[in-house]
């Protein structure tokens, strides 16, 4: 099952996010996920595991497990490389051992002090606050992203963590419209206005935290997961599915791409088994009433500044 992007390319509606995965674990995970049926992998320079992902992909190609053209690979430009877009993209391609990317995203709508291509540091100033570079506009960054398409390095370009205002601006100054806006959205943080705005203007929404962050964001940010909510656990019992499967199915029925993260083989299989049932309108409405406008991913903890304020 796939969504057709505004440039005609197809993006599988479910993928695997590889944040916080390292070493042999990620190699086994990617190989196993391909065997299960995953064809979409969401990476980022900042995850610091592109080299390991690249090794796993090379093994998958070399052994005939899958062909390059059958996979959809996304990675992202880090904040410190906004002034070095081409170099950063080529660095990611080299690490991933790929000739092209299916999708390249601006990871966050902020440029920060450059620390060397691919180093992806979040440099802080003497005041302990993220050292934001005020000399590079998002428009400048976007036009450099457009150049990657002309160079044949990427097929699609997009944005990530952009609100309605920044997305509108990008639409206004772009020659190549963003194909995707990857944002946090889940039953506790539905962002219906942003989702509908993007979809109205031909931008596919990808949910980078479709399960509300679960254990990962609880550990890092002290947030709670929607998966323990009685509404989801009740629906899970009704449909004989897990709460995670209910949340993912809800995301799919919103026409958003979902990229759950897991390092467990059992969960990997479970998250992919969401195409054999459909939530009723009443149950979709029930989940819609769960919205708490509750963001679980909180980088301000590390940056000393709340960019969402």
Binding-site residue ranges for substrate: 107
**Encoded tokens for 188:** 């506790």
Nearest to 260 by CA among 29, 46, 60: 29
Whether residue 47 lies in the annotated active site:
yes
Q: How far is the C-alpha of 262 from the C-alpha of 159, rounded, in Å?
A: 23
**What share of residues in the chain are helix, strand, coil (percent, to 5)?**
45, 15, 40
The 10 Å CB-count burial string (b at 16+, else e) for 227-257 is: bebebbeebbeebebbbbbbbbbbbbebebb
Marked catalytic residue, from 47, 104, 162, 188: 47
With a CB cutoff of 8 Å and minimum separation 6, the contacts of 1 are 12, 13, 14, 252, 275
Positions marked active-site: 47
């Amino acid at each position: 099952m796939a969504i057709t992007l505004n440039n005609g390319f197809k993006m599988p509606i479910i993928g695997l996010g590889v944040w916080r995965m390292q070493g042999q674990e990620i190699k086994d995970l990617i190989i196993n996920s391909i065997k299960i049926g995953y064809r979409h992998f969401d990476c980022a320079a900042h995850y610091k595991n592109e080299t390991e992902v690249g090794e796993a992909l090379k093994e998958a190609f070399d052994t005939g497990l899958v062909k390059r053209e059958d996979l959809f690979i996304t990675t992202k430009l880090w904040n410190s490389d906004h002034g070095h877009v081409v170099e950063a993209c080529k660095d990611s391609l080299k690490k991933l051992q790929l000739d092209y990317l299916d999708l390249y995203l601006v990871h966050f709508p902020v440029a920060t002090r450059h620390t060397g291509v691919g180093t992806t540091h979040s440099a802080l100033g003497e005041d302990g606050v993220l050292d934001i570079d005020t000399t590079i506009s998002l428009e400048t960054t976007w036009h450099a992203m457009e150049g990657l398409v002309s160079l044949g390095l990427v097929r699609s370009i997009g944005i990530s963590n952009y609100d309605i205002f920044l997305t509108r601006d990008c639409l206004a100054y772009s020659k190549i419209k963003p194909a995707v806006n990857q944002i946090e959205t889940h039953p506790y943080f539905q962002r219906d206005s942003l989702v509908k705005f993007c979809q109205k203007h031909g931008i596919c929404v990808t949910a980078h935290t479709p399960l509300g962050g679960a254990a990962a964001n609880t550990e890092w940010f002290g947030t709670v997961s929607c998966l323990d909510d009685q509404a989801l656990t009740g629906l899970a019992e009704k449909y004989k599915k897990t709460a995670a499967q209910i949340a993912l199915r809800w995301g799919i029925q919103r026409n958003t791409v979902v990229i759950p993260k897991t390092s467990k083989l059992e969960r990997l299989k479970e998250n992919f088994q969401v195409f054999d049932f459909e939530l009723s309108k009443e149950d979709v409405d029930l989940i819609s009433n769960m919205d708490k406008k509750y963001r679980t991913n909180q980088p301000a903890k590390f940056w000393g500044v709340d960019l969402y304020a």
